[in-house]
Amino acid sequence: MPPTSRPLRKLGFLTIGLFDEADPRRGHQSTLEIIGLGERLGFDSAWVRHRHLQYGISSPVAVLAAASQRTSRIELGTAVIPLGWENPLRLAEDLATVDLLSGGRLNPGVSVGPPMHYDEVKHALYPDTADQEDFGHTRVERLLDFVRGKPATDFSGVEGIEVFSDRVQPYSPGLGRRMWYGGGSLRSAQWAGEHGMNFLTSSVVKAEEPGASVDFAAVQLSHIRAFRDRHPDGESARVSQGLVVVPTDSATAEQRAKYAAYAAARLPRTAAPQGPARLMFAPDLVGTSDEIAERLTAHAAFREVDEVAFALPFSFEHEDYVQILTDIATRLGPALGWCSAA
């Protein structure tokens, strides 16, 4: 067992589901095949990103509905749905429906904030209410209330031959405890804990104070501990870490060169906080499984978690993802003390 404070209990992966505009079906089919492969390899969870007006998954709930019918065991998550694009009541209906179809395997992750490029898209998204929309935590609270079965209306009963419920239908027991918040700031971590959510922390965090630490692992660790300090479950509250991890054990020479070039191109952004928001990026971890395991066990935040959803690089090919996932499941996971569910 590696020298971590928390043995790795759940191994997951995250994909963006890129596609070619000329053939979008192929890209979506590739995503479904990758999720199916993940289940066969024994992964505990598969997560999909969310992109609007781009060439990535715009409807993760629909994709996971399809995945739920092709799999039987693997947990299915979103990392994350930006709620600025969503109506919380309608989203609650969709999430509960897919959770029931999956047999209780859905793990919805959400985030807040105005939609990206809001000034350019607001007239298409909210033509009559663009200046009145609330993109803060209240939107998450509404979603949580609906998912957890609180009344959505004061009307219920029979009207003619139709029966009406005062809460969102279908209602899926247990889904409320599988809601995740994706956050990169200290306040987000605290808020998620206070509201009994699970916490997704990724390869991007904020160095919020000019004089604060600029060590990525230290900042991420502070968020994890702040989350658990505020959560009713304390130290057992669920946290999943999502670093970019690319093992090369079974990669070809060409793949290894491509992976190294990808990581090298992204490395400069990790040197210092970026932009007004002072975003900090974790370096991509590329190398053999033994090399990556050594770097992870030295990572202060990794030592605090027992769940991961390693992020697949955005721009690789299907065959690359097959190799990476196979190495993670058969070599890196066991090197971290994980036991396959396969």
Q: What value, to the nearest 5°, has the Cα angle with vertex 56 and ends 51 and 62? A: 80
**Whole domain around residue 278: which residue ranges?**
10-335
Handedness of CA 197, 32, 28, 55 (dihedral sign): positive
Residue 340 lies in a domain: no
Query: Among all chains, which residue has been given the structure tokens 């029966």?
Result: 163
Residue 68 lies in a domain: yes
pLDDT by residue for the chain (342 residues), tens only, comes to 344 457 899 999 999 999 999 999 999 999 999 999 999 999 999 999 999 999 999 999 999 999 999 999 999 999 999 999 999 999 999 999 999 999 999 999 999 999 999 999 999 999 999 999 999 999 999 999 999 999 999 999 999 999 999 999 999 999 999 999 999 999 999 999 999 999 999 999 998 866 667 899 999 999 999 999 999 999 999 999 999 999 999 999 999 999 999 999 999 999 999 998 899 999 999 999 999 999 999 999 999 999 999 999 999 999 999 999 999 999 999 999 999 977
Please name which of 298, 297, 299, 285 lies closest in space to residue 327, comparing C-alpha atoms: 285
Residue 21 lies in a domain: yes
Q: Distance of CA 68 to CAs 32, 35, 46, 280, Å? A: 10, 10, 11, 35
Cβ neighbours, 10 Å, residue 19: 19
How many structural domains is the chain composed of?
A: 1
Cβ neighbours, 10 Å, residue 254: 8
Residue 222 lies in a domain: yes
> What CATH number is given to the structural domain containing 32?
3.20.20.30
pLDDT at 210: 61
For residue 246, what are the β-bridge partners? 286
**Rg value, the chain, Cα:** 20
For residue 200, what are the β-bridge partners? 182, 240
* Local structure of 43: helix, strand or coil: coil
Q: Which residues contact 46 (CB under 8 A, 6 or more apart)?
A: 12, 13, 14, 15, 34, 35, 38, 39, 67, 74, 75, 76, 77
- The two tokens of residue 252 are 């070809």
C-alpha–C-alpha distance, residues 213 and 58, integer Å: 35
Residue 342 lies in a domain: no
pLDDT, tens digit, 9 for 90 and up, residues 258-300:
999 999 999 999 999 999 889 999 999 999 999 999 999 999 9
Residue 267 lies in a domain: yes
For residue 159, what are the β-bridge partners? 162
C-alpha–C-alpha distance, residues 10 and 306, integer Å: 6
pLDDT, tens digit, 9 for 90 and up, residues 113-146:
999 999 999 999 999 999 999 999 999 999 999 9
Is residue 204 within 8 Å of residue 269, measured between CB atoms? no
Q: Distance of CA 72 to CAs 60, 165, 243, 341, Å? A: 18, 30, 26, 12
Residue 33 lies in a domain: yes
Residue 204 lies in a domain: yes
C-alpha–C-alpha distance, residues 335 and 133, integer Å: 47
